Amino acid sequence: MTEDRFFDKLREDCTQLRYEPRDGALWARLPGRIRDRIHNQPSVSQMLARWFRPITVAFAALSIVAALSVTWIEHIRETAYAVEAMGSNSLEITVDGDTFNLTAAE
């Protein structure tokens, strides 16, 4: 048998390998699924919403993180000012007529 004859014969025998689903309902189900998809195509506003929603969420998350960061930095700065103010001013305490002067250690 020649190569070509072999391949022709094989091609004839291969027709039985075409897919035939066990699930016969597929041929009714598939057009229904396709119909549902094409009849529920998103409108332009839905398409835009689908794009913009994640972007909006990302911006909102960034804004929250930025606001929290600024608040925290401000809080740290205020604490540092208070310690600095205490350190730069001496404090006098009088006990039984004796005056003690408290200054921050260098």
Partner 1 sequence: MFTVQSEVDRTPADSDLIEQRAIAAVKTGDADSYDYLVSKYMKRVVSIAWGIVRNAHDAEDLAQEAFVKAFQTIARFKPGEPFGPWIYRIVTNLALDVIKHRQRFRHEEVSDALPATRGDRADLPAVTNELGRRIDAAIESLPEMQRIVARLFLVENFEHAEIAAMTSLSEGTVRSHLSLARAKLRERLADLYEGSHD
Q: Which stretch binds partner 1 (CB under 8 A): 15-23, 53-61, 62-70, 89-97?
A: 15-23
Minimum CB separation of residue 48 from partner 1 in Å reads 17
- When asked if residue 13 is in the footprint of partner 1 (CB under 8 A), the reply is yes
Find the farthest-apart pair of alpha carbons in the chain and give their distance in angstroms, rounded.
127
Whole-number minimum distance, CB 22 to partner 1, in Å?
5
Alpha-carbon distance of 23 to 63, in angstroms, equals 53
Q: Nearest approach, Cβ of 20 to partner 1 (angstroms)?
A: 4
Are residues 53 and 64 in contact, defined by beta-carbon separation less than 8 angstroms?
Answer: no
To partner 1, the closest distance from the beta carbon of 42 in angstroms equals 11
- Give the Cα-Cα-Cα angle 95, 101, 103 (nearest 5 degrees): 140
Between CA 19 and CA 23 the distance in angstroms is 11
Binding positions for partner 1, 23-82, rule CB under 8 A = 23, 26-27, 29-31, 33-35, 37-39, 41
- HSE-up of residue 81 (Cα within 13 Å, Cβ side): 6
**Per DSSP, what are the bridge partners of residue 100?**
93
Which positions touch partner 1 (CB under 8 A)?
1, 3, 6-7, 9-11, 13-23, 26-27, 29-31, 33-35, 37-39, 41
